[in-house]
Amino acid sequence: MKKFTMLPLAALVVSSFAMADDIKVFKFSEDGTPTTFDPVQSGTTYANTVTTAVYDTLYEYKYLKSPFELKPNLAVDMPQVSEDGLTYTIKLKQGVKFIDDPAFEGGKGREVTADDFVYSIKRHFDVKNRSQGSWLWAGKIVGLDAWKDAGSDYAKEIEGLKALDRYTVQIKLVKPFPQLTYTLAMGYSGVVPVEAVEKYGRELSIHPVGSGPFKLVSHNSTKTVLEKNPDYRQETFDLAGAGYNEEMHGFTGIASLDGKQLPIVDRVELNWIKQASARWNSFSKGSEIVNTTLQNEQMDEVLASKHPVKLKPEYAEQFNFRVNPEAGLVYNFFNFDDEYFGYSDDPKTNAQNKALRCAIVKSFDWPQRISRFYLGIGEAYPGFIVPGTDGFDPNMDDSSITQDLAGAKKLLKEYGWNKQNLPVIYYPGTASTRNKQFFEQFRGNLTKIGYPKNKIKQKTFATFGDFNRDVKNSKTQLIPMGWGLDYPDAENTLQLFYGPNRSPGSNSANYNNPEFNKLYEQASVMQPSPERTALYQKMNQMVVDDCVGIGGYSRTRIRMWHKNAIMWPQRDVMGNYLKYVDIKS
């Protein structure tokens, strides 16, 4: 892999368990590698972790609050929203400066203004930037799409995206978009200065120039090093405001951070360690990385109990842990473009296809999947609304996630399916041992309902990119994937079934139900309310009844960290948390 280096390290990196010359170093780790830190392309968890550390967003999530709750970051307060929900007015903090960088006159960072925010959103709609985040605002802000279609002239004003004065942003929407403020906490909305874009061009991806709590010192495929921004605005840790709960967080030592100047540590080393065994080895040494996620390979060695999760005494003495359901889900969708799974103008064929989908859903063994691949921890749930978001119903009928072999066989027989006319099914995935095991389990379940083994085949791809390209081009019969929430609202998963979002958009199932589409359009402009919750639940039941896919399940993570690392591990949804971590001497 090509190696990129930004600048030489300003000082020697020291152990995460020691102080050297009063330098505190926090050795953080993740299981993937970011390739860019340009906000317009920060589409992965790994990129977002760094992007939100070096760039400012208008809002961020309260560090410890559950369920997730927003708070102002670069903004002074939460938005002022007009009565019709179409106009948002946001005041920015004064005196916030970009880091010193050669991009600026004299190398001194200038003040961040409302114009910088406007410019940063415009960049998503400049085609040469190949934005991964433009979908968040496409069709929602007055005049923004037209500005793109007219050639993306930055000198031209957009009616719905203005700087009213040096510190005031105004956003006008085409229709209500209650999730707008969530998008302004994502790395995609990081505020970028035009001077840096003009100086570095595409190199901005590895030379970020922001106003966040840290600045990038160096980056390569295995490690990214951040240092405290010495000119970061005056901000202290507010324990109560962060959502601290003594019963939940007391064991972490986070209470000792109350009132401390942010960021707390001087340097963060982000170690990108993809291989589970290598990451565990680094973590367990005691002198390298301070955090990890427990993998299947270490389960028997580390855990004394799964229900509830408990560490063995020798590990409990060294490490803290939390059991953390992900803010997202895994699923297997059917591709409704496929002649055997999708809709048909012929009522008989349409009924047969639905029966085939539902029989496959009934064949699936969730307890087996969870036991074999997810440490035996967690429970599947009916539908595709993630627990903890509005619309999740813990009392929803669970027959869609209960294996029913007799029911599946009955469906196939009633609708005329037999060993001769059942179609060949190709189960897609990357060429890995884990995906091979997923396929074997899937095939094993189907053979139990009479599906011929020779008609269930694996389709392997060299890389996830190759697999994802076929998904985007609607070339796979099935879509076994995961979806991480972009923001904590059920709308973010229900949009996976909205007809206009079909491939290459997020609706990879290519499901197109006019009744569902109508309900989605109605709910998507509503503020949170019991009425909106009822619509969410109705849509969720609709996709369950249509057997759109096998789901859902939110993976339960066991996050572990050394006891002298003061942190609350969280990588889903929330960014900008590195400024809150500390390391004991």
| Contact (Cβ atoms closer than 8 angstroms) between residue 30 and residue 244 | no
Q: How far apart are CA 427 and CA 438, in angstroms?
A: 9
Helix (H), strand (E) at residue 550: strand 549-553
| Burial annotation 135-147 (CB, 10 A radius, 16+ → b, else e) | bbbeebbbbbbeb
Q: Which amino acid appears at position 94 of this protein?
A: Q
453-505 pLDDT, tens digit each:
999 999 999 988 888 889 989 999 999 998 888 899 999 999 999 999 999 88
CA distances 97 to 263, 424, 580, Å, are: 16, 60, 20
**Distance from chain centroid for Cα 284:** 27
DSSP H helices in 142-226 = 144-149, 180-183, 194-200
Distances (CA, A) of 534 to 224, 390, 479, 511: 45, 10, 28, 21
pLDDT score of 8: 35
**Is the CB of residue 59 less than 8 Å from the CB of residue 187?**
no
Pick the residue with more confidence: 180 or 371? 180
Tell me the C-alpha to C-alpha distance, in Å, between residue 205 and each of 2, 185, 189, 410.
14, 20, 15, 56
Nearest to 53 by CA among 37, 29, 76: 37
Q: Judge whether residue 269 has pLDDT over 90.
A: yes
Domain with CATH 3.40.190.10 in the chain: 19-268+565-583
Mean pLDDT for all residues in the chain: 92
pLDDT band at 549 (very low <50, low <70, confident <90, very high): very high
Is 274:33 a contact under the CB 8 Å cutoff? yes
Let me know the angle formed at the C-alpha of 497 by 530 and 369, rounded to the nearest 5 degrees.
95
Q: Residues 6 or more apart from 131 whose CB is under 8 A from it?
A: 40, 41, 123, 124, 125
**pLDDT of res. 21:** 56
Determine what percent of the chain is predicted with pLDDT higher than 70.
Answer: 96
The token duo for 111 is 């003040």
On whether the 19-268+565-583 domain is CATH 3.30.1360.120, my answer is no
The pLDDT assigned to 132 comes to 87
**Where are the domain boundaries for CATH 3.10.105.10 in the chain?**
328-554
- For 532, the token pair is 């909106």
Q: Using the predicted structure, report yes or no on whether residue 354 has a pLDDT greater than 60.
A: yes
Q: Averaged over 115-133, what is the pLDDT?
A: 95
Q: What is the mean pLDDT of residues 546-574?
A: 91
Give dist(CA 578, CA 466) in Å, integer: 33
111: enclosing H helix or E strand: none
**pTM, two decimal places:** 0.86
pLDDT for position 256: 97
- Taking 80 as the threshold, does the pLDDT of residue 10 lie above it? no
Q: DSSP assignment of 18-39, as one string?
A: -EETTEEEEEEEESS------G
304-313 long-range contacts (CB < 8 A, ≥24 apart) are: 306/375, 306/376, 306/377, 307/377, 309/377, 309/558
CATH architecture of the domain with residue range 328-554? Roll (3.10)
pLDDT tens digits for 433-451?
Answer: 889 999 999 999 999 999 9
DSSP 34-101: -----GGG--SHHHHHHHHHHS--SEEE-TT-SS--EEESSBSSSPEE-TTS-EEEEEBPSS-BPPP-
